[in-house]
Chain A
């Protein structure tokens, strides 16, 4: 360590011009070219750096949250679930783990995270089932077996035959 403060104090008496500049140059010491040592350029560069640092402090929070969500989403995908229903169903169980902790759990405690994913999945399916039972008419049955398909085809054929026969009768 070299103690220069006292030496500089003796040299620079009078108005605090020297100290003002030193305050700026200390902060621009790692800039490129004349932005480092020429005062009028350095002060402009410093003001810009402050502005971007101010913005960066806000952006950092968003970026980190985005990363947590990405990590949770990829962790949950391994257990056949997606991010959005996962988070939604955890809140239904009143599990108040935030995204930071969930992302940490996905990496460091994978079994706990798996249990959370299973929990959300069952809740999600329960919700769907309730919806199906409330409005059975509006639900399209998808995973029907082949026999069901055959039955419905037969019904269709019967109804068409009836229609044709009835139309014949009318004529």
Chain B
């Protein structure tokens, strides 16, 4: 029977995934991370067996909100005492702790049961690229960023800019005539 056990030991091995959060919206980050935390990407998935993986998210300082959500998105909190209500806009939240927005987004999207705390323990958030060496040594695979990382104009080379297709030329002297 021991030979059977040795066949199975790798089945429940935990993977460590890395995600670069630079220029990614927090909701899209959460969507990419949650199935991995739950273990829903494995064919051995069962809601009662603890098969979720670890996810390391770096560069959470550089997350991107669309529109003016930095001002309009408000995190509400009530302590339970009279006058204990507080409202914090997203940009203030980000100033205090730049991992907390991603953390809240993921925490809110996970299923609301006792497993949620275990899953959150398997989530590791870092505001920049610095990861402790013991965590870096575990990482097995990197997740593709859910949104295509936009490039700014200076990041394109001269050739790219010259060959980029255009519909019209703003300074074309022939068109002015």
* A37 proximal to B (CB < 8 A): no
CB nearest neighbor in B for A106: B43
Q: Find A153's partner among B40, B43, B46, B165 (CB 8 Å cutoff).
A: B165
The answer to whether B43 touches A74, judged by C-beta atoms less than 8 angstroms apart, is yes
The answer to whether B40 touches A70, judged by C-beta atoms less than 8 angstroms apart, is yes
Residues of A within 8 A of B41 (CB): 74, 77-78
Distance to closest chain B CB from A77 (angstroms): 6
Number of B residues with CB within 8 Å of any CB on chain A? 13
CB nearest neighbor in A for B167: A153
A153 to B169, CA, bound (A): 12
Residues of A within 8 A of B47 (CB): 67
* A71 proximal to B (CB < 8 A): yes
The answer to whether B43 touches A75, judged by C-beta atoms less than 8 angstroms apart, is yes
Distance to closest chain A CB from B94 (angstroms): 33
The 8 A CB mask of B137-170 against A (1 = contact, 0 = none) is 0000000000000000000000000010111100
A72 to B47, CA, bound (A): 15
Residues of A within 8 A of B166 (CB): 153
A72 to B46, CA, bound (A): 12
Residues of B within 8 A of A150 (CB): 165
The answer to whether B43 touches A107, judged by C-beta atoms less than 8 angstroms apart, is yes
Residues of B within 8 A of A74 (CB): 40-43, 45
* A6 proximal to B (CB < 8 A): no
CB nearest neighbor in B for A108: B43
User: Are A157 and B46 also in contact (CB < 8 A) when A70-B40, A74-B40 are?
Assistant: no
Extra contacts besides A107-B43, A157-B167 (8): CB < 8 Å: A67-B45, A67-B47, A71-B44, A74-B42, A74-B43, A150-B165, A153-B167, A156-B167
